[in-house]
Amino acid sequence: MKRADRLNVARAMAVGLAGLAWANTMAVAAPASPSPAADPPTNPLWSEQKVRNYLPDMSWPEVEDLLKRTDMVIIPVGSLEEHGLHGPIGTDFLNGTEQAKLIAQKTDVLVAPILMPGNSPYHMGFPGTITLSAETIEKVYFEAVQSLIKHGFRRFLLLNAHGGNAATTRFIVDRINQETPGVAVELGEAAGPFMSGAYKAAVAKGAKEFPEPKVFDRHSGVGETSDSLYLIPNLVNMKVARTAKMTLPPHLQAMLPQVIAKDRTANLVFLAEALKAKETGKHTSTGEMSDTGVWGVADITTASAAQGKVQTETFVDASVQFIEAWKKLRPMGVN
Ligand SMILES: [Zn+2]
C-alpha cells in the first residue's frame, strides 16, 4: 500500500510506508528478543507485553486517567491484504498500529485500533485478502468515534496505512468534523509539513541516507518491506522474497519513466487506472500485474531494518511535532 506522497522521504511510511531506496543491508527476520548492537535495529515496542496508551491493553481506570491528560486519539486505518511472498497479510494494519504506538510514547495520546481490514478489491487475486466496501469501513469507524466521544475524547488523528483507504479516510474525517462535537485530521497529511525537517534532523544525528529508488517500487516493495523489517521483524520472511515479474498494460508501461520521475500529471493518470479490481476490466489488479503480489521491480532483498528505522522515526517525529503544535494551537478543554 502506499499513502499519498508526502515526501520522498517517507513516502511509504505511512503510506505503506514505503520509501527510499536503501542500502544493501542484510534483511534479517529477527526474533523479538533484545538483540546485540550488531543486529538490525528493531521497533522497541515490538516485544512489549503491555504498551502504554494502547486501548486494547488498558483497563477502564487507565482510560479514565488518560482522559484527564488528553482528548486525542490516534486511529490506525489499515488493511488485510496480500503483501507478496514475504510479507504478512496484516502488514498495513500492524505497521500503522506500531507507528501509532511509537507516536503515543512520545506525546501522551490514546491509540485505538478499530478494524483490521480495509478497502483492497484489487488484491483479491491472492488468497487471504479481505476487502470491505468504503461504506462499511466508514460506518464502523464513525460509530467507533461516536463511542470515544461519549467517553470524552474530542480530537481524532486518523493514521491511514493503506493507499486504498485514502478517500474513505478523508470522508470519515469530514463526517466527524461535520456531524459530531469531535475534530479530526488525517495524520499523514498533518505530519506532511514536518517531514522534511524531521528527516534532515535524523540525518544530522547520523541516520544513514537512502536514495530514492531509480525503478518502480510501490506495494510491498523495498520501502514498505523495510518498514516491516523494523516494525514487525519476525513476521517478514526474506528467505522467499524475490523481485516480481511485472506485466502492466502497454499504455501504462509506457508511462513508467514519467511516473518514476514523479511527473504529477503522469502519476495522476497512471494511478487513476492502476490498482483497480479485476472486475473493472482494466487489467490492473495485482494478480494481473505481478506474479508475486509485489507491485514494483526493485530488488526486495535490498530492503533493510535500517531503512525502515529512518522512515519510521521520520514519520513518528513529524507526527509528534504536529500533535504538539495542535495542543498549543487549541488547548484541551476549549469548547
Ligand atoms: Zn501495504
Q: What is the CATH number of the domain that holds 265?
A: 3.40.50.10310
CA 68–ligand 1 middle distance (angstroms): 35
**162 within a domain of the structure (yes/no):** yes
CA 329–ligand 1 middle distance (angstroms): 33
Least confident of 3-17, 93-107, 286-300: 3-17
**256 within a domain of the structure (yes/no):** yes
CA 1–ligand 1 middle distance (angstroms): 4
**41 within a domain of the structure (yes/no):** no
CA 12–ligand 1 middle distance (angstroms): 9
CA 78–ligand 1 middle distance (angstroms): 8
Give the model's confidence band at 333: pLDDT under 50 very low, under 70 low, under 90 confident, else very high. Answer: confident
CA 3–ligand 1 middle distance (angstroms): 9
CA 2–ligand 1 middle distance (angstroms): 6
CA 84–ligand 1 middle distance (angstroms): 10
Q: Which three cell numbers mark 230? A: 523494523
**228 within a domain of the structure (yes/no):** yes
Q: Is the pLDDT of residue 306 over 50?
A: yes
Number of domains in the chain: 1
Query: At residue 282, what are phi and psi to the nearest 5 degrees?
Result: -85, -10
Q: Which three cell numbers mark 166? A: 485514502
Give the model's confidence band at 45: pLDDT under 50 very low, under 70 low, under 90 confident, else very high. Answer: confident
**249 within a domain of the structure (yes/no):** yes
Query: Residue 5: how many CA atoms within 13 Å on its side-chain side?
Result: 13
Give the model's confidence band at 38: pLDDT under 50 very low, under 70 low, under 90 confident, else very high. Answer: low
CA 275–ligand 1 middle distance (angstroms): 13
* DSSP-derived secondary structure for 181-201: S-EEEEHHHHHHHHHHHHHHH
pLDDT for residue 21: 30
CA 312–ligand 1 middle distance (angstroms): 14
Q: Please tell me the distance from the alpha carbon of residue 22 to that of residue 38, in angstroms, as a whole number.
A: 18
Query: Residue 26: how many CA atoms within 13 Å on its side-chain side?
Result: 6
Q: Please tell me the distance from the alpha carbon of residue 49 to that of residue 56, in angstroms, as a whole number.
A: 12
**31 within a domain of the structure (yes/no):** no
Instruction: For residues 200-224, give the mean pLDDT.
Output: 91
**35 within a domain of the structure (yes/no):** no
Is residue 91 within a helix (H) or strand (E), and if so which, with residue range?
A: helix 91-106
Q: Which three cell numbers mark 51? A: 504498551
Q: Where are any strands of DSSP class E within 78-151?
A: 110-111
pLDDT for residue 49: 83
CA 120–ligand 1 middle distance (angstroms): 10
CA 92–ligand 1 middle distance (angstroms): 5
CA 224–ligand 1 middle distance (angstroms): 7
Q: Is the pLDDT of residue 289 over 70?
A: yes
**26 within a domain of the structure (yes/no):** no
Q: Is the pLDDT of residue 16 over 90?
A: no
Q: Please tell me the distance from the alpha carbon of residue 207 to that of residue 200, in angstroms, as a whole number.
A: 9
CA 182–ligand 1 middle distance (angstroms): 29
Tell me the residue range of the domain where 251 lies. Answer: 55-328
CA 60–ligand 1 middle distance (angstroms): 32
Provide the phi-psi class of 127: left if phi over 0, else alpha when psi is between -120 and 50, else beta. beta
Q: What percent of the chain is predicted at pLDDT more than 90?
A: 81
Amino acid letter, 150: K
pTM of the model: 0.87
pLDDT for residue 335: 63
Question: Which has more pLDDT, 146 or 29?
Answer: 146
What average pLDDT does the structure give for the chain? 89
Least confident of 27-41, 104-118, 278-292: 27-41
CA 331–ligand 1 middle distance (angstroms): 34
